[in-house]
Structure formats: C-alpha cells, structure tokens
A and B are shown apart, each in its own frame.
Chain A
Amino acid sequence: MPDRTTSNSDTSGSLTASPLLRIPGLCLTILRRIVDVAALLLLAYMSCAILAQITGRYFFNYSIAWSEETATFAQVWLILLGAGIAMRFNQHVGVDVLIRKAPLPVQRLCNGAGLLLGLWFLGVVVVGSLSMLSIGFMIKSPALQIPMAVPYMALPVGFGYFLIEFAVTTLPRVIDPDRAAASEKEEAKA
C-alpha cells in the first residue's frame, strides 16, 4: 500500500481499504484521536496533582487531600483507555510462537475462537460495569464527595474502546492470517 502515511489510523489494514467501510474508518480515526488526547491529559493531570501534593507538604506545610484521590481516579481512566491504545499498537503480550507455525485453517479457527471469547469477556465487563455505574451515582468518594460514578464510568467506556480495538485488530487475522501478519510486521517497523 503506497499511501500508508499515518500508521496511526491504518491498523485496520484491509478494512479501511473498502469504500463501504470508509465512514466507520473515519469514525475510528476520530475516536482514536479523542482517546489519545484524553489519555495524555490524564497523565499530565496525575503527575501535576502528585507534584502539587509534594510541594504542598514540604514547602507550604499544607497537606492536600484531593490530589491522591483525584489522581487515583485519573489513573483508572488512564489504564482503561490505555489498554485500548495498547491493543491498537498490538502491544499486549501473548504467546503466538506456536500458533504462527500452525497450518492456516487452524490459525483461522483459533483466531476466530479467540475473537469470540475475547468479545464475550469484554462484553461481560461492559455490561457488568453498568450495574456498578448505577450504584456509583449514589456513593460519594471519601475525600472530595464526588459521585463514584466518575471513576466507575471508565469501566464501560474503557472496555468498550478496548472491545472495538480488539475486534479491529483480530478480525483481519481471522479472515486472512498471512496478510494480517505481514501488515503487522510492516507497522512494527514503522
């Protein structure tokens, strides 16, 4: 593919090539941009909050109660969004030495089963977290009295995003394992 300029938006490889899928592809690109910016802001917030806590304690003799709590909430969001980002860059560790050597039909079968099971797990977490979320509107956090729904919300959003990235990365491996492996290798180089 000669027009691969951004490795960022093109992980879906064969999927974005089709004109019918161009609109979902565009949505995915926008979604990824939003997630990236949100994650960077969360990390920036966490580090500044902790730095404020330290300076408060040592230079102004003033202990800040909210920094630890809000930074922990930010961390929950950061990790759950980050898990999806890592899926996009194919950074989640897995043992694929054996499966890569298997015959093509076996590879497709395993990848297909893995895709379904993975979607099942991620889906269960998303659904299960919704009931947690409804309770979260009633409970307040200890230090700042924020509704716990604020950090709990990271579960459906983060795992939902993880689910999308997982499907987008794994689907090409079910359809055509060889081609998917080749395009992943190319991306790893970039």
Chain B
Amino acid sequence: MIWAGSGFLLLLVSGIPIVLALGIAALVAIEFTTTAPISIVAQRVYGGISSFTLMAIPFFVASGLLMEAGGIARRFVNLAGALVGWITGSLYLVSIVTGTGLAAISGSGSADTAAISAVMTPEMRKRGYDIDLASAVIAASGSLASVIPPSIVMIVIAITANQSIGAMFLGGIVPGLLVMTGLMLGCWLFAKRGGEAYRDREPFTLGRLGRSFLEAVPGMLVPVVILGGIVGGVFTATEAACVALFTTLIVTMFIYREITVRDLPRIFLRAISLSATVLIIVATASVFTWIIATQGFPAMLRDWLTGVTSNPVAFLLIVNVLLLVVGMFMESISAVLILLPILLPIAQSYGINPVQFGVITALNLSIGLITPPYGICLYVASTVAGRRIEQVSRKVWLPLGCMLVALMLVTFVPAISLWLPSVLL
C-alpha cells in the first residue's frame, strides 16, 4: 500500500501520463508485496475494458465532437442570445446558457469550453468585458458537461457504483441547472455593480427567439434521443449513444451541411484517441484499485473515517473537502475509479443514497476542472482567450463561489438529485 500510494504520488508530479503512473505504481506494489504472477496485470487490463456499457463513451465522444465541428456552438449562442441577451451582463449569461446547452450534447467539458470561448471572447473583448472573469465563467459553464447528461464521468460513476446510467443521468439534471442558475445570478450581480460595458444589450424579440430556436432544434434532438431512449426503456445507454452518433451524423451532414465525408476521418480519429485516453485509464486503474484493495487500504480509510466521525453531515463535509482537493490535482476518471469504491460503502452505511453520492462526486470533480493548478477547463479557456492561466485564476473566485454554494445545496438537500429519477424511473 505504502509502495503503491507514495510511488503513484511521486510519479504523478513527475509529468508522466497518469495512465502510466497508475500502472507503474500498481506493478511496483505487485512485485514487492505479493506473489501474484505478473500476467495478472494483462488480465485485469483486459477485464477493465471488455465492457459493453463502457462502449457508450466512444460513441458519446464522437457525437459530441461531430456536433461541435458542425457549428452547434454558434447556433446555441444565437439561441441563448435571444433568450437572455436583454439582461445586464448579457454576454456572461449567454456563455453560461450556451455551456449548459452544449453540456447536454457532449460528454466532457474541455471541448465545450474551447468552443464557447472561441465564439464569445472576441465579442466580449469588443464590448469591453473583463476577459479574465469571462474566461473563468466560460470554464465553469464548460465544466457542467460532467454533471449534465450525457456525461462520461457519470457513466464511469454509474458503473463503479453499480447504479443504472439512466438514474445517474437524471440525477445530474437538476444539480446542473442549479449551478447554471447560480452562475447566472453571480454574474448578473457582478455586472449590475460593474461598469458601463455590461449595460450594452440587445432587445428581446419573439421573432428572433423563434428563428434561433428553429435553427438550434436539430441539435437538441440528441439529448431528446439519449434521455427519452434511456428513460423510456427503449435503449440501453450504449445503444442510445450509438443512435445519438447517427442522429448527429445526419444533422451535421444533411441538415446543417457543415460537415462533409472528407472531414469524418479527422473528427473520428480525434474521438478515438480522446475516448481511448479515458478508457485506458479505466483499464490500468482496475489494476491499481485491485492492488490497493488486496492491501487492505479501503478498510483502513473506512476505520479512520468512522473513527473520526459518526455523523453523516460531518462525513459529507470531509468527503467534499477530500474530493475537491483530489479534483484540484487529479484527472476525474481516475479519481472516481480510485476513490468511489472506498467512499461509497461508507456513505451507504450512513444511509446516503448512492445516486446522490454519485452526483456529489461528479459535481466536486467538475469544480476540480476550474481550480488551479490542474483545472483543464480553466486552462483551455485561458489559452483560447490568449490570457495566462495565472491571470484568469485570480478571477475564478466568482464562478467557484457559485459552484460551491450549489455543491452545498446538493450535498445537504437529497431531493435536488433524487427527485427527478424518482419521478421518471
């Protein structure tokens, strides 16, 4: 255990890919503390990825990338502009609404963040908005992709926690909308007290709303297919993801006509390598979690946690702090795979619902996407906007504060995550 843990932490900061750090640490632990044959590594790796449920991930990634290449971000920006463009601080609000919309068609946040930032930043700069704050807000709305379905992190959580993907997906919707509302409220208050730049807005017209809505409708087919299919019991999650991919293909090639057959290999190759980075972590993390489980680490942590507190509220607070800190330094998927099998049984012994606990985990890790030093969405947003990450980090307190408030609500009001699954499933 000491071998695996310390070795992993050392490797983590040495800049080596996380997938190899996990594998090496596990291998060291196996070599020095067990007599297990070395071929166990290959077997665990195979067992980790030969899962039909995981296949939803490459399909969702491909469909999300295709939509983004098909110009969906611009259409969602137009629709969001028609919806909230008349309010003070309009461009912040438009970014947040667009981020929420893109989260509903893609599974991970960094591509969403890049798309919103590329469309919104030039306009914000022209109108004299605070670009650092804007980048932080865009990063936060992009990070919503791991809370709002279809979310890759949620799929991995559902598999690890042995819950239905449908329940996890539905559980994330209200918390996601809560974060969106919180971010909008925070930005609106900021813009109200801010300078003249934020007063500049466009009048609300029904005609514009109707036009932009019609333009965006084909893009909204995807969340309808996914949620309707899974909730209605028509498809499994993997099948829904596959149908979503074909729907996207039809929408982008024949309705929006922004993608031709010649673009497809490039987009799909990118989808393959992006989903492989996630799934290969699933494969090697299964070796790592197996070795730390055989060393009795989960039991140790459980004893320590239950010794420190017998109070569910205190337990949830400790878990939130733990996940926030881990999320700051670690990539979400490996954090889920390592920590959730340890934390979930303890949570259940306190009577906390696994779906709610999964949503808390996802929300914590999505906050990790915007916290320095390793906040991938923050990094992407600042790069696209041409600002240094240190500059943007200084303005991150506003979206961060909003997300933390939402996190506290989700943690202590179970109905926020459990109401929708209980009504629909």
A contact set with B: CB distance below 8 Å: 36, 39-40, 43, 46-47, 50-51, 53-54, 68, 71-73, 75-76, 78-83, 85-89, 91-100, 110-111, 113-114, 117-118, 120-122, 124-125, 127-129, 131-132, 151-152, 155, 166
Give a binary string over B279-297; 1 marks a CB under 8 Å from any A CB, 0 the rest.
1100100000000000000
Which of the residues B16, B272, B277, B374 comes within 8 Å of A78, measured between beta carbons?
B272
The answer to whether A110 and B14 have CB atoms under 8 Å apart is yes
- Shortest CB distance A56–B (Å): 11
Q: Are A94 and B50 touching (Cβ within 8 A)? A: no
Residues from chain B with a CB closer than 8 A to the CB of A125 are 23, 41-42, 45
B19 touches A92 (CB 8 A): yes
List the A side residues contacting B271 at CB < 8 Å: 43
Q: Is the CB of B46 within 8 A of A152?
A: yes
* CB of B62 closer than 8 Å to a CB of A: yes
Given contacts A53-B239, A54-B235, A151-B50, A94 and B21 within 8 Å (CB-CB)? yes
Whether A78 lies near B276 (C-beta < 8 A) is: yes
Query: Which A residues lie within 8 Å of B42 (CB)?
Result: 125, 128-129, 131-132, 155
A50-B55, A54-B242, A71-B52 are known contacts. Are A91 and B14 too (CB-CB below 8 A)? Answer: no
Would A124 and B38 count as touching, CB distance under 8 A?
yes
Chain B: interface secondary structure?
A: helix
Q: Which residue on A lies nearest to B30, using beta carbons?
A: A124
Q: Is the CB of B24 within 8 A of A118?
A: yes
Given A54-B239, A54-B243, verify A132-B15 contact (CB < 8 Å): no
Q: Check B277 against A86 for contact (C-beta < 8 Å).
A: yes
A92-B19, A94-B18 known; A47 vs B49 contact (CB < 8 Å): no
Interface residue? B210 (CB, 8 A)? no
| B17 and A99 contacting across the interface, CB-CB below 8 Å | no
Cβ contacts A to B, 8 pairs, < 8 Å: A54-B239, A71-B55, A86-B274, A92-B18, A92-B19, A118-B17, A128-B40, A131-B39
A40 touches B276 (CB 8 A): no
Residues 5-43 of B, flagged 1 when their CB comes within 8 A of A and 0 if not, give: 000000111111111110110010000000001111111
Closest CB in chain A relative to B158 CB, distance in Å: 17
In addition to A47-B246, A79-B283, A122-B20, 14 A-B residue pairs with Cβ atoms within 8 Å of each other are A36-B269, A47-B59, A78-B272, A78-B276, A80-B49, A81-B276, A85-B269, A88-B273, A91-B274, A114-B15, A117-B16, A121-B20, A128-B37, A131-B39
Chain B residue contacts of A121, Cβ below 8 A: 20, 23-24, 27
Complex interface: chain A residues within 8 A of B54 (CB): 75
Is there an interface contact between B15 and A79, defined as CB atoms closer than 8 Å? Answer: no
What CA separation (Å) do A118 and B12 show in the bound complex?
A: 13
Using Cβ atoms and an 8 Å threshold, which residues of chain A touch B283? 79
In the complex, what residues of A have CB within 8 A of residue B373's CB?
A: 95, 97
**Given A54-B242, A121-B23, A125-B41, A85-B16 contact (CB < 8 Å):** no
Q: Which among B24, B51, B62, B274 is the interface contact of A43 at CB below 8 angstroms?
A: B62
Q: List 9 A-B pairs, minimum CB-CB distance, nearest first.
A: A82-B276, A92-B17, A96-B15, A99-B15, A128-B39, A129-B42, A128-B42, A86-B273, A50-B242
B198 to chain A, nearest CB (A): 33
Q: Bound state CA distance, A132 and B238, in angstroms?
A: 28
Q: Tell me the minimal C-beta distance from A96 to chain B in angstroms.
A: 4
Contact partners of B13 in chain A: CB under 8 A = 95, 98-99
Given contacts A54-B243, A166-B20, contact A93 B277 (CB under 8 A): yes
* CB <8 Å contact, B50 and A72: yes
Across the two chains, which residue of chain B brings its CB closest to A92?
B17
Q: Which residues of chain B in 335-392 are interfacial with respect to chain A, using CB atoms and an 8 Å cutoff? A: 373-374, 376
- Residues in B whose Cβ lies below 8 Å from that of A97: 373-374
Asked whether A100 and B15 contact (CB < 8 A) given A93-B331, A118-B20, the answer is: yes
> Are A111 and B235 CB-contacts (below 8 A) given A71-B52, A93-B331?
no
Q: Does B245 contact A (CB under 8 A)?
A: yes
Task: Give chain A residues whose Cβ lies under 8 Å from the Cβ of B39.
Answer: 128-129, 131-132
* In-complex Cβ contact of A83 among B11, B12, B37, B276 (8 A): B276
Asked if B46 and A39 sit within 8 Å, CB to CB, the answer is no
CB distance from A132 to the nearest CB of B (A): 5
Q: How far is the CA of A88 from the CA of B329 in the complex (A)?
A: 24
Contact check, A82 vs B275: say whether CB atoms are below 8 A apart. Answer: yes
- Known contacts A71-B55, A76-B46, A121-B27; is A89 also within 8 Å of B273 by CB? yes
A51 to B241, CA, bound (A): 10
Alpha-carbon separation in the docked complex, A181 to B18 (Å): 19
- Return chain B residues, CB-CB under 8 Å to A81: 272, 276
A116: nearest chain-B partner, CB-CB: B24
Chain B residues whose C-beta falls within 8 Å of the C-beta of A53 in the assembled complex: 239
Task: Report which residue of B13, B14, B21, B62 has the largest number of chain A beta carbons within 10 angstroms of its beta carbon.
Answer: B14
CB distance from B292 to the nearest CB of A (A): 17
In the complex, B265 has a CB within 8 A of chain A: yes
Question: Which chain A positions have C-beta within 8 A of B279?
Answer: 79, 82
Closest to A170 in B: B16
Q: How many angstroms between the C-alpha atoms of A50 and B54 in the bound complex?
A: 13
- Residues of B contacting A93 in the complex (Cβ-Cβ under 8 angstroms): 17-18, 277, 331, 376
